[in-house]
Amino acid sequence: MTSPGRANAPISAEAQARLAGIEEVERRTQVTVDAVEQYAQQLRALQRSFSRLGIKQEIDSNLGFVFVNGNGDLVKIDLSPEGLRSVDASLVGHCVLAAIKAGQSRVKRFRDQKFKELADSSHLYR
């Protein structure tokens, strides 16, 4: 191997070792960049999948169900006429809100578990 500035001048063994070290650092950097890009793609796909997820949460006192999507957004409240007749009207709002919070909590636990599984399977944290 020759030096770029001097025609046919040999590169010392020390310089060759340094170049090899630089090339190894570049290779490891590219491996890390590739792993980060792959992780980001998997993370985006996981986040998209949450919008298709739905949680059905029962409302206390047999009042019906609430439906929460994978992002924690309320999608639907399905009240039971029979349940409404058997419960004090002043409790309905409280029961519905409690069910929404419970559904959102279930979604959060599910999402957290999926994010943990993805992180655990990633080579970035090893």
**Rounded to an integer, what distance in angstroms lies between the CA atom of residue 54 and that of residue 102?**
13
| 42-95 pLDDT tens trace | 999 988 888 888 899 999 999 999 999 999 999 999 999 999 999 999 999 999
Higher pLDDT, 100 or 17: 100
* Helix H or strand E encompassing 91: helix 89-121
Angle CA(68)–CA(45)–CA(125) in degrees, nearest 5?
110
CATH class of the region 53-125: alpha beta
Domain residue extents for the chain: 53-125
